[in-house]
Structure 1
Amino acid sequence: MPKIILHHYPESPFSEKIRLLLGYKHAGYQAVTVPVIMPKPELLPLTGGYRRTPVLQLGADIYCDTALIARVIDELLPEGTIYPPGNEATVAATARWTDSVFFRSCVSLAFQPQALAENELFQDPAAADAFFRDRAALTGGSSLAMAARTALPLFHNHLGNLDRQLAGSAFLFGNQPTEADFSTYHCCWFVHRNAALAGEFDPYANLRQWMSVMREFGHGEQEAIGGEDALAAAAAVSPRVAEGQSLEALDGLRPGERVEVMPTDYGFDPVKGVLMQSSVEHLSLLREDPQVGTVAVHFPRVGYQVTRAADDG
């Protein structure tokens, strides 16, 4: 089995979700620190254009989006599964809502002027300007944030609900964490780590205790490597190609067709390749790159769209 390689950067909230999950699983892994903004010359040869963070690599198999990355890690390290039977629909729905709607409220709070003043990333005006221009390109000119007067009530409404729910159990759905706990933690972490915002959590003792327990999972045994090492790891092996699966009756596409995949919310950078797997859970395509050869790029089905490649007519 190839080593787990995580492409991340320290300030990335979604990377924190995966770092903490790797800690919970007592995992050893290699980590590549990617640039916060474009260009990302040692990541895009692997993903084919996908630029969101984090990305998980297993040899020549590249996994995008934490919804899929979390499942891959849980399959590799099944002890203490974060997908226990009995709450499948509730956990999945909670994690997806948290990673989208609740995350937007957290972004809105974290990017208030008083919060930015406490963020090391934005102490250099030129760097701050480059960051916001990069994120504007990522979101297609729209914004992940909402007005603070809209975000703050939503944020506290959810914190209150979490605090009441955690009064009766160690984790959100019982005595072991699920993906919903890791999604919720990274959103709270993103806000709480800012000194100007940490006080927002003061009224919620149960939530703060839960955060402390989650934090103690740590980040696992992390070995820093360079991006060139990750590229070499992909070039040295072939992807694990499974027998083609198709949802032709639903999406009209068959394995072997040229397709492009991209998110449905933001980051509309299409990844093109040959369709390998198409199921209700995930999408996989094969692509060629001169730096790494053949790689398989994998996406969750939820939150992504797949179409026949435009350059194929």
Structure 2
Amino acid sequence: MSELILHQYAESPFSEKVRTLLGYKQVSYRKVDIPMIMPRPYVIPLTGGYRKTPVMQMGADIFCDTALICRVIDEMFPDNTILPEASAVSDAALANWVDTFLFRCAVAITFQPRAEVGNAIFKDEAAAAAFAADRAELSKGSTQLQMDLGIAEGHFLAFLNDLDTQLHHVTFLGGATPSIVDFSAFHLVWFVQGREPLRQMFEPFTQVLLWCKRMSDFGHGDVEVIEGPIAVAEASQSEPEELLDKTFVEDLPPGQLVEVMPIDYGFQPVRGELLAAGF
């Protein structure tokens, strides 16, 4: 089995979700630091056009979307599972809500004008403008990342209040150990807290702050940084893993040419031959 390679950039919240999970699982892996914006000459050849971050690689196998990435990591390192069967439906539903609707709230809050004061992400106004143009292209044809700031703040603060209430009674949202919901919720709190002018909104939520410390204490695992060409060469020199459990959705037989793309934003289709389609 090939060693994991994570294609990511430091400021990416969804990358932080996966990095923290790898820390929790105490995984040794390699990472490629990719640009925040296009072009990404050593990622797009691997994904076929998929633009979201992060992407996980194992040899010639490329995994997109953190819902899948986290499930694959949990299957590879099953000790202290984050996907307990006893709460599979509720965990999946809540993690999906956090990663979609609540992420939209976090984006609106994090990129409001007040949060730009002292923002170290962009070195100058030109870099900020380039990022805005890149994300406008990424979200072209979608309204999923658009939300009124007042609505976003109301929902996010209500979530923090509920989160704080629950954490008065449990160590993690998963109970004694974290579940996938912890990692989904943590990366959004981490994202908003990264803007210094916004940190005061967390002050009333003492249990949330303690939980954040517990999550961040997992670290990011044992990481080796490699360059993009090394990862691309490894993919080209490897064979994909055999699909041992091939399952198929009705009317999607293998062998046909298909296009796959996200349903929220990032409508850049990936074209290829279908090998399997299932749940």
Same fold (TM over 0.5): yes
User: Which residue of 2 is the match for residue 95 of structure 1?
Assistant: 95
* 8 Å Cα contact 1:163/1:205 also seen in 2: yes
Find the residue that maps to 1:222 and give its secondary structure: strand
- How far apart are 1:117 and its partner, in Å? 2.2
User: Which residue of 2 is the match for residue 214 of structure 1?
Assistant: 215
User: Which residue of 2 is the match for residue 261 of structure 1?
Assistant: 260
User: Which residue of 1 is the match for residue 41 of structure 2?
Assistant: 41
User: Which residue of 1 is the match for residue 177 of structure 2?
Assistant: 176
User: Which residue of 1 is the match for residue 236 of structure 2?
Assistant: 235
Comparing 60-69 with 124-133, which one deviates more in the overlay? 124-133
After superposition, the C-alpha distances for 1:11-49 in whole angstroms (9 at most, x for unaligned) are: 000000000000000011100011100111100110000
Q: Which has the higher helix share?
A: 2
* 8 Å Cα contact 2:246/2:276 also seen in 1: yes
Relative to structure 1, is the Cα distance of residues 60 and 7 closer, same or farther in structure 2, using a 3 angstrom cutoff? same
Comparing 89-98 with 134-143, which one deviates more in the overlay? 134-143
After superposition, the C-alpha distances for 1:103-154 in whole angstroms (9 at most, x for unaligned) are: 1111111001121222222341111111101101100154614121111111
* 8 Å Cα contact 1:24/1:220 also seen in 2: yes
Letter in 2 for 1:103: F
Relative to structure 1, is the Cα distance of residues 149 and 114 closer, same or farther in structure 2, using a 3 angstrom cutoff? same
Letter in 1 for 2:117: A
- How far apart are 1:241 and its partner, in Å? 2.7
User: Structure 2: which 5+ residue stretches go unaligned?
Assistant: none
Find the residue that maps to 1:87 and give its secondary structure: helix
User: Which residue of 1 is the match for residue 205 of structure 2?
Assistant: 204
User: Which residue of 2 is the match for residue 63 of structure 1?
Assistant: 63
* 8 Å Cα contact 1:136/1:143 also seen in 2: no
Q: Percent identity between the aligned chains?
A: 47
If asked which structure has higher relative contact order (CA below 8 Å, sep 6+), I would say 2
- How far apart are 1:187 and its partner, in Å? 0.3
TM value normalised by structure 2: 0.97
Cα distance in structure 2, aligned partners of 1:243 and 1:215: 36
- How far apart are 1:243 and its partner, in Å? 5.1
Displaced runs of 4 or more, over 2 A: 243-249
- How far apart are 1:100 and its partner, in Å? 0.6
User: Which residue of 1 is the match for residue 115 of structure 2?
Assistant: 115
Find the residue that maps to 1:277 and give its secondary structure: coil
User: Which residue of 2 is the match for residue 291 of structure 1?
Assistant: none
**RMSD of Structure 2 on Structure 1 (CA):** 1.2
Cα distance in structure 2, aligned partners of 1:203 and 1:261: 43
Relative to structure 1, is the Cα distance of residues 85 and 199 closer, same or farther in structure 2, using a 3 angstrom cutoff? same
TM value normalised by structure 1: 0.86
User: Which residue of 2 is the match for residue 306 of structure 1?
Assistant: none
* 8 Å Cα contact 1:59/1:238 also seen in 2: yes
Relative to structure 1, is the Cα distance of residues 243 and 273 closer, same or farther in structure 2, using a 3 angstrom cutoff? farther
Relative to structure 1, is the Cα distance of residues 260 and 191 closer, same or farther in structure 2, using a 3 angstrom cutoff? same
User: Which residue of 1 is the match for residue 20 of structure 2?
Assistant: 20
Relative to structure 1, is the Cα distance of residues 209 and 58 closer, same or farther in structure 2, using a 3 angstrom cutoff? same
Q: Which has the higher strand share?
A: 1
Cα distance in structure 1, aligned partners of 2:125 and 2:158: 34
Relative to structure 1, is the Cα distance of residues 244 and 143 closer, same or farther in structure 2, using a 3 angstrom cutoff? closer
- How far apart are 1:184 and its partner, in Å? 0.2
* 8 Å Cα contact 2:98/2:185 also seen in 1: yes
Cα distance in structure 1, aligned partners of 2:249 and 2:96: 26
- How far apart are 1:246 and its partner, in Å? 4.6
User: Which residue of 1 is the match for residue 106 of structure 2?
Assistant: 106
Aligned residue pairs total 278
* 8 Å Cα contact 2:9/2:34 also seen in 1: yes
After superposition, the C-alpha distances for 1:191-213 in whole angstroms (9 at most, x for unaligned) are: 11211111110011111111110
Cα distance in structure 1, aligned partners of 2:205 and 2:32: 35
Find the residue that maps to 1:56 and give its secondary structure: strand
